[in-house]
Amino acid sequence: MSQHRIDESLAGGRLDVVLAELLDESRSRVAARIADGQVTVDGRRVGKNHRVTPGETVEVVQAEPTAPARPAPEMPPVAYEDDHLLVVAKPAGLVVHPGHGNADGTLVDALLGAGIALAPAGGQDRPGIVHRLDRDTSGLLAVAKTDEAHAGLVEALRLRRVERRYLAMADGVLPRPRARIEAPIGRDPRDRLRFAVVATGREAVTRYEVLGVGRAENEDGVPGDVSLLSCRLETGRTHQIRVHLASLGNPVSGDATYRADVRLARALGLQRPFLHAAALTFDHPVTGARVEVTEPLPADLRAAATNAGLEAVLPEDA
């Protein structure tokens, strides 16, 4: 069973819409869960049209587990570990936890397959998981081994006390060399598989700084500018950096979902969005010690930076 406490940012939303975002599942799947009695609000069954209010607790009963259809993925590199938590370097292409369309072959499967105990508080499908990275985003992810660590990390994220720094490349030249983007994010009303800046969305804040501007020529010899960015998350909405940069007209390079220039991506040698969780800093939720972890760019993104003439401006820890 997983529990989700409703805060002000979710207030007034329909139960099926809110749960679709929280569970990263389709609304039809969530509606089926509600109809099947798998969802309660403060211990009572309600309909999918129920409008949630601050302070309510939504509980979701997880389906009975089934045997994985394929072997667990290889365990990713561990950047930090102690008795309470670990930080892994997730490779691109690995989904973090089971969900709609991804029943197995996830990071959770890799961790459990390696014999790592994970905090039950995350729920049956998401043990130990406190934040996520998109499938094609590489980099650092903290995972809780104990419920005490899980609760502390969730609270630290809520209070914005976890520093998450990403390296990104964006098409074009950003409007300002550094800025704070504050724009609410929700499901794109025209495409439910995407997210967008929408007035009814949840609060989302991203800071960026331009590290350098490069250029690459497509197959027709037409040059295109790209910007290497250091991004810091204040909130952690799904696809947040991708959506915020796309809203400026500067989508993450290689991100076809948000209409990045496909020919420019080919010129850079990109097979995925140029987005990497490069640094994670927080106070340990149990010991209080400062935890600071960095992860260098993987080879494919470093090659793209080189192709754009931007390798010289990469941070030292990249």
Residues with catalytic function: 134
Strand-pair category, 78-81 with 85-90: antiparallel
Distance of alpha carbon 280 from the chain centroid: 13
DSSP 283-296: E-TTT--EEEEE-P
Q: How far apart are CA 170 and CA 192, in angstroms?
A: 23
CB 274, CB 254: distance < 8 Å: yes
Exposure string (b/e) for 254-264, b if CB count within 10 Å is 16 or more? bbebbebbeeb
Task: Classify residue 115 as left (phi > 0), alpha (psi -120 to 50) or beta.
Answer: left
Half-sphere exposure of 288 (CA within 13 A, CB side): 0
Residues in contact with 164: Cβ distance below 8 Å, sequence separation at least 6, in sequence order: 131, 232, 233, 236, 277, 279, 280
Which of 300, 311, 139 has its CA nearest to residue 228? 311
φ, ψ for residue 44 (rounded to 5)?
A: -120, 150
Q: How far apart are CA 247 and CA 183, in angstroms?
A: 9
Residues in contact with 101: Cβ distance below 8 Å, sequence separation at least 6, in sequence order: none
φ, ψ for residue 142 (rounded to 5)?
A: -85, 140
Written as one letter, the residue type at 91 is: P
